[in-house]
Structure 1
Amino acid sequence: MLFAGALDRSGFELFLALAMGHFLGDFGLQSDRMAVEKCRGKDQTLPWQWWLTAHAGIHAFLVTLITGSAWLGLAEWLLHALIDIGKCRHAYGLGIDQLLHLSCKALWVILLFYGLSATR
């Protein structure tokens, strides 16, 4: 786990690490081609599903690495893809897209501190 002792740190510190990971995944590690072709109808080099799955998978990996929870990584993979599908369909713009993604990060912190830790 990259964020060693996730539950030994404050929830705010964990949220910050997840937010930093998110911006790395959405802006640093996402190529221009991936950003465009992950949307249905814009795919030219690979089917859009592959681009979207790969992009959401990068986020899943980052969440898993930071939290140490593959289950949260899997949840991130699914929700990140669904949120991006909504943006691709023009249901909302970049601001709401980013707010939804960061809300997921807050949810992971809540689950780690109050949900998953209760079973340990």
Structure 2
Amino acid sequence: MDDPRPILLLLYLVAGHALVDFALQSEAMALGKCPHAQHPAARAVPWYYWLAAHALLHGTAVGLVCQWMGLTPAGTLALALAETLAHALIDLGKCRGWYGIHRDQALHLLCKLLWWCLALGAFPSSGGL
């Protein structure tokens, strides 16, 4: 493999997801981001604030990885915004009981694969994102 950046990009996108969805997500956020949550934090802060903050952190992680890996600012912004929206919608579906954690995580990882595929044209300077 002459250019390891494409594989590194995928690794960092998945690792960023693991970091934000597990290591950095507090109990208050994990429970408070769902409508009708009974967690004390959810009574103090509306659920949609928790969900928006959580999704924005995921979008930021994707954006930081993309920027760090040398994607264009426009491509970085597009993928960060796409991740923010997709993550919020996926988590909302899980909160509403449409599916469990396994499907939730599979959908999140499919998004990372999609972002990676969209960004692949950027390596090595082929005019992609």
Q: Scaled by the length of structure 1, what TM-score is found? A: 0.86
Cα shift at 1:11 = 2.7
Q: Does 1:49 align with 2:48?
A: yes
Task: Report what 2:64 is aligned to.
Answer: 65
Select the residue among 90, 100, 109 that pairs with 2:97: 90
Task: Report what 2:23 is aligned to.
Answer: 28
Unmatched tracts of structure 2, length 5 or more:
68-75
Q: In 1, distance between residues paired with 2:95 and 2:78?
A: 26
Unmatched tracts of structure 1, length 5 or more:
1-7
- Describe the SS at the equivalent of 1:90: coil
Instruction: Say which structure, 1 or 2, has more relative contact order (CA 8 Å, 6+ apart).
Output: 1
Task: Report what 1:102 is aligned to.
Answer: 109
Q: Which has the larger radius of gyration?
A: 2
Cα shift at 1:32 = 0.2
Q: Scaled by the length of structure 2, what TM-score is found? A: 0.80
Cα shift at 1:12 = 2.6
Q: In 2, distance between residues paired with 1:65 and 1:97?
A: 23
Q: In 1, distance between residues paired with 2:27 and 2:44?
A: 13
Cα shift at 1:118 = 4.4
Task: Report what 1:81 is aligned to.
Answer: 88
CA RMSD, 1 decimal: 1.9
Q: Percent identity?
A: 47
Task: Report the residue type matching 1:35 in the other structure.
Answer: A
Q: Does 1:38 align with 2:33?
A: yes
Aligned length: 113
Contact 2:119 2:128 in 1 (8 A): no
